[in-house]
Amino acid sequence: MRKRYLITFGLVLLVLIIDQVVKIWVKTSFAFDDPSVPLVGNWLYLNFVENQGMAFGTQLGGGMWGKLTLSIFRIVAIGAIIYYILKQIKKPEVKMEFFIVAALVLAGATGNLFDSMFYDFIFRDYFDPCISYNQVEGSGIFEECSYFGYTEMVEVRHRGFLFGNVVDMFQFRVTWPTWVPWLGGGQVFPAIWNVADFAISCGMIYVLIRQKVFFPKEK
């Protein structure tokens, strides 16, 4: 049982460290308007963006309440995952591969939550209301923004605990063949993602593939 604890939460910690190291490096090394950087051939690029949503920019509504609801949802989901893992660890019949998959999902959810919780404090000096991902119409919060000597008041997002943006950076640039109906010429997967998103996706896809093994029907 101790081995299960060590492997499960050790993997969570490893994925979290990798996720945060990459995010901090990208956030402190690239500007919002920097050009994309090819990483692998012509199909994987580094393209720094920030979003107020969850994996791949998905949001639960907009504005302050949408962001706050999303952050609270993350906290509840992470608590439920931890509780479920702790219960399953005590069952000898549960396979180790299940805990590896659960660790990936838990680490990914926690990594993105960490951004929302703390990035507005860690990177407060980097905040610039003129950057588009900090501008939110209808927020009711106005800050002065200058463009080439011209000054105007712009509406910006709420800041602070649970309101930080999630840092994304990777993007596939693979297009559908032109002969594919409706999709031809468009990007196969245009979303920009991070290590945490990748961990969640790998975990969830593996669960779908192995669901009969992980959740067998009772005879």
In the annotation, is 120 catalytic? no
- Identified catalytic residue from 19, 115, 120, 168: 168
DSSP class of 175: B
> C-alpha distances in angstroms, 116 versus 34, 72, 122?
23, 10, 11
Q: Which of 32, 24, 30 is nearest to 49 (CA)?
A: 32
Report which secondary-structure segment, H or E, holds 122: helix 96-122
Q: Which of 197, 201, 207, 202 is nearest to 53 (CA)?
A: 197
Q: How many CB atoms lie within 10 A of CB 146?
A: 10
Residue 157 buriedness (CB in 10 A; 0-12 / 13-18 / 19+): buried
- Check: CB of residue 89 under 8 Å from CB of residue 5: yes
Alpha-carbon dihedral sign for residues 88, 91, 97, 98: negative
- Identified catalytic residue from 19, 115, 120, 197: 197
Instruction: Give residues with Cβ within 8 angstroms of 145, minimum separation 6.
Output: 129, 130, 151, 152, 153, 154
Alpha-carbon dihedral sign for residues 21, 108, 170, 117: negative
In the annotation, is 197 catalytic? yes
Residues assigned a catalytic role: 168, 197
